[in-house]
Chains A and B, each alone.
Chain A
């Protein structure tokens, strides 16, 4: 008899949980309101009036488009690298037991467990030591390093669920290991990789701390935002960009959720 499942929550708990969720969501909703304000010089609330003109102004700003383009390119290439490295690592760790297996899991998690500023400054001093000039590729190098963990987490969780007998059956029926990979493993881990890739993309698209150390003069969208935060020049344009960024990052999260929701472990549980 599981009577506890039908009990309803005490009122105090309901209020505390609801207030907690509201605390998490109201500030983001406020961003949507401010994208339409007519006020240019301050963050006045309530907005004196509402307008759509800042969307047109933002649309015609080449610097915003450039930053957006750079962010998308960096995120796409970092995600591709992270997909390869993360899948290889996950496959090695989940199929076999070997000496140093725990160390590899730790190594993959380290770039995200240590504060971003340490990863950033370490890479920066390594670049200056090796006399590598800052470029598109130095940004990608930093991003791929911490994107591996997201792909790895998703892939490891899925590998755990594929039963080993499936692979043995495939081998017994005469498939070689490449065929087994192509027809058995890949279809099974496909959605997990897609989800991991989406999350890696979102992580890279939003990253700012490591990027400030590994980008030279180029600015990704988060760097552009950071400059606006430190020295506000174009508040209305920043409001619109902030709203667009919220929408753009929500899509991969929802996508990753729907791809992995049947599993025991859902994507993104550990950022």
Chain B
């Protein structure tokens, strides 16, 4: 029976490639295995392997006297995260990431809404490329541009001077936490640059969510007497929320792990990324660096779990 099925339609293929092709056709699992082996070896073994090796190190500790790593299981390194100076770093980073995410959503929403609902034809393309080009342009060049802008002798000071608003800038810089001797070495500067660099990642997911909102829903809300604020509050915002959460995954995670922006534009107080960098580099304390890098992984894990429950992955 089976030999009839084999021969009734087509003759067996000749040649090694023909036989191989037939063999794969009968054994699709083998072909799948062959296709998956190279990427799985690379990502599963090399990448995940190094990731686990790093996580493992966080359960070791460092000997205070010799500076050598003590290869015994301990939670002491994690306890070190809770001492005030280290815990401050975590709090500072998480609150910065939260504020950057909120501000990015506020700036991104009008751009996404206009692009989704009003932009047509040529303008659609302009909006799309207008978001994509800054998103993809060089990370360091973007930071460099802000170094030029925020410098004491730079364009921002010049603009404030021309508008006779120097007193406002000086008053802002005199404030306790957000101020500093110049914008380029203050939290305000760090905050602005974080928004600038990560905000484009917020626009496309929000736009994708808003594209799916039918226009007549908004008209219906207006017909039923809702003013624009009410329409936004009760119709637009709940429907866009999965997109906002999807975008916030990027802005939150990227801010959480960044160490270059606060190093170049910011005060000398550390963020998690800088702490990891300093611990593994100059301090040579790999276990503490590993424990610090577990913090963003855990926070992002929780965040992704909550996002999934909100249905944010459908908007990605």
A residues with a Cβ closer than 8 A to B are 2-5, 7-10, 13-14, 16-17, 20-21, 23-25, 27-28, 30-31, 34, 42-46, 81, 84-86, 88-89, 91-92, 96, 98, 104, 107-108, 110-111, 113-119, 121-126, 129, 141, 144-145, 148, 174, 176-178, 199, 202, 206, 208-209, 222, 225-226, 229-230, 238, 242, 245-246, 249-250, 253-254, 257, 266, 268-271
Q: Known pairs A81-B42, A121-B289, A270-B316. 13 more at Cβ < 8 A?
A: A13-B118, A14-B114, A24-B196, A28-B141, A43-B154, A104-B36, A118-B257, A119-B47, A125-B50, A178-B21, A229-B147, A229-B264, A249-B138
User: Which residue in B36, B50, B141, B147 is a CB contact (below 8 Å) of A123?
Assistant: B50
Query: Which residues of the other chain, B, contact A269 by a CB distance below 8 angstroms?
Result: 204
Interchain CA distance A2-B147 in the complex, whole Å: 48
Given A9-B114, A10-B228: A107 and B257 within 8 A (CB)? Answer: no
Interface pair B138/A4, CB less than 8 Å apart: no
Interface pair A121/B293, CB less than 8 Å apart: yes
B86 at the A interface (CB under 8 A): no
Q: Could you list 7 examples of A-B contacts with CB < 8 Å?
A: A16-B111, A17-B115, A107-B40, A122-B50, A178-B21, A199-B136, A242-B138
By DSSP majority rule, is chain B's interface helix, strand, loop, or mixed?
helix
By DSSP majority rule, is chain A's interface helix, strand, loop, or mixed?
helix
User: Which residue in A17, A88, A225, A257 is a CB contact (below 8 Å) of B113?
Assistant: A17
Interface pair A208/B260, CB less than 8 Å apart: yes
List the A residue with the shortest CB-CB distance to B37.
A88
Interface pairs A-B: 3 shortest CB-CB: A115-B257, A4-B215, A176-B21
Interchain CA distance A148-B38 in the complex, whole Å: 12
Query: Which residues of the other chain, A, contact B165 by a CB distance below 8 angstroms?
Result: none
Interface pair B130/A27, CB less than 8 Å apart: no
Interchain CA distance A117-B273 in the complex, whole Å: 7
Interface pair A25/B134, CB less than 8 Å apart: yes
Interface pair A129/B135, CB less than 8 Å apart: no
Interchain CA distance A110-B140 in the complex, whole Å: 23
Chain B stretch 41-68: residues in CB contact (< 8 A) with chain A = 42-44, 46-51, 53-54, 57
> Interface centre among B131, B148, B154, by most A CB within 10 Å?
B148
What size tier do the contact residues of chain B reach?
35 or more
Given A92-B32, A253-B136: A4 and B130 within 8 A (CB)? Answer: no
Interface pair B17/A257, CB less than 8 Å apart: no
Chain B stretch 256-279: residues in CB contact (< 8 A) with chain A = 256-260, 263-264, 273, 276-277
- At the interface with chain A, which of B22-30, B76-84, B170-178? B22-30
Interface pair B201/A271, CB less than 8 Å apart: yes
Interchain CA distance A123-B43 in the complex, whole Å: 12
Query: Which residues of the other chain, B, contact A86 by a CB distance below 8 angstroms?
Result: 39
Query: Which residues of the other chain, B, contact A108 by a CB distance below 8 angstroms?
Result: 39, 43
B146 at the A interface (CB under 8 A): yes
Given A121-B293, A249-B137: A27 and B215 within 8 A (CB)? Answer: no
Q: Distance (Å) between the CB of B124 and the closest chain A CB?
A: 11
Interface pair B49/A126, CB less than 8 Å apart: yes
Interface pair B38/A85, CB less than 8 Å apart: yes
Given A126-B53, A178-B17, A268-B132: A42 and B46 within 8 A (CB)? Answer: no
Quick one: CB contact mask for B146-157 with A, threshold 8 Å, 1 for yes?
Answer: 111101011101
User: Which residue in A45, A118, A178, A225 is a CB contact (below 8 Å) of B293?
Assistant: A118
Interface pair A17/B264, CB less than 8 Å apart: no
Interchain CA distance A25-B200 in the complex, whole Å: 11
Interchain CA distance A11-B191 in the complex, whole Å: 28
Given A144-B42, A249-B136, A250-B137: A43 and B32 within 8 A (CB)? Answer: no
Query: Which residues of the other chain, A, contact B53 by a CB distance below 8 angstroms?
Result: 122, 125-126, 129
